[in-house]
Amino acid sequence: MTVAVPTPSISPGLVVRHIPGPLRLADFGLIAFDMDSTLITIECIDEIADAVGKKAEVAAITEATMRGEIKDFKESLRRRVALLEGVPVGALQEVYDQRLRLSPGAPELVGACREAGLKVLLVSGGFTFFADRVKARLGIDFARSNLLEEDGGRLTGRVRAQDWGDICDGAEKRRTLLEVASLLRLSPAQTIAVGDGANDLPMMGEAGLSVAFHAKPKVREQAMVAIDEGGLDRLLEVVRP
């Protein structure tokens, strides 16, 4: 599909802006995905909070953060994780088994990217417990996310620092995208970034192609491609395999 328009080009549920098409996956070398509400259908922290009856309280902070109303993602995450103190570690496995579902089109898009020779990065403000499992499930090459601290089989309500830092926020997502691209000897223009929330905007702003998936209004407005209806594989209507 050839598109070169200064204003949105709209088909049902798909908005395309400022793309000097036609584009092919082979034009790129790396695709980076957010996880919660992008590669998967849930916000994991909200579902963990449900185990202690605090889902509404945590979800309200999550929503305000994703809309960009709470600007400091690190402080937002610390506030939400603190509410998880005392949750049994086993609750994470229950969330994974019973509630976590891949977003429609996720396996198809990741598979098409891998077949075209792209490396795949999962970079998330969520948690390693889920990111590692989604990484293995989809055959993703790289993943970075936050590590929940536990003690005696229960969450402490804190995030544990890792060798790259403490919390994967928007700035860390951007840095990770650029770091992996550099390791692969790619320019930022050869990367695709896919997300749904305000903390995805820094990496989306660096990528050669930015994609909003069922995203918050602020993110949809700034993305080059907005998938508002259907699955992630709708990107293949814009960027051909």
Which domains does the chain possess?
Answer: 9-42+101-240 (3.40.50.1000)
Here the tokens at position 47 are 């579902």
pLDDT at position 2: 39
Q: CA-to-CA distance for 65 and 194, rounded, in angstroms?
A: 17
**28-46 per-position pLDDT tens digit:** 999 999 999 999 999 999 9
Q: CA-to-CA distance for 69 and 67, rounded, in angstroms?
A: 6
64, pLDDT greater than 90: no
Distances from the Cα of 193 to the Cα of 29, 66, 106, 122, angstroms: 12, 16, 14, 10
Give percent above pLDDT 90 in the chain: 78
Mean predicted confidence (pLDDT) in 6-21: 74
**192-212 per-position pLDDT tens digit:** 999 999 899 999 999 999 999
Least confident residue range of 34-38, 58-62, 168-172: 58-62
User: What residues are paired with 148 via a beta bridge?
Assistant: 159
pLDDT at position 5: 40
CB atoms within 10 A of CB 199: 26
User: What residues are paired with 231 via a beta bridge?
Assistant: none
Query: What is the band of 234 on the pLDDT scale with cuts at 50, 70, 90?
Result: very high
Between 3 and 37, name the one with better pLDDT.
37
183, 32 Cβ separation under 8 angstroms: no
Mean predicted confidence (pLDDT) in 45-71: 85
pLDDT at position 161: 94
176, pLDDT greater than 70: yes
pLDDT at position 8: 59
Catalytic positions are: 34, 36
**Which among 238, 162, 176, 169 is positioned nearest to 206, based on CA atoms?**
176
**80-117 per-position pLDDT tens digit:** 999 999 999 999 999 999 999 999 999 999 999 999 99
Average pLDDT, the chain: 92
Between 130 and 50, name the one with better pLDDT.
130
Query: What is the band of 18 on the pLDDT scale with cuts at 50, 70, 90?
Result: confident
135, pLDDT greater than 80: yes
Between 107 and 58, name the one with better pLDDT.
107
pLDDT at position 6: 40
The residue count for the chain: 241
Q: CA-to-CA distance for 132 and 135, rounded, in angstroms?
A: 5
Most confident of 60-64, 67-71, 179-183, 196-200: 179-183
Distances from the Cα of 17 to the Cα of 7, 11, 65, 180, 182, angstroms: 6, 12, 25, 26, 27
DSSP state at residue 205: H
Between 40 and 217, name the one with better pLDDT.
40
Cβ contacts of 141-149, under 8 Å, gap ≥ 24: 142/180, 144/168, 144/172, 144/176, 145/35, 146/77, 148/81, 148/84, 148/92
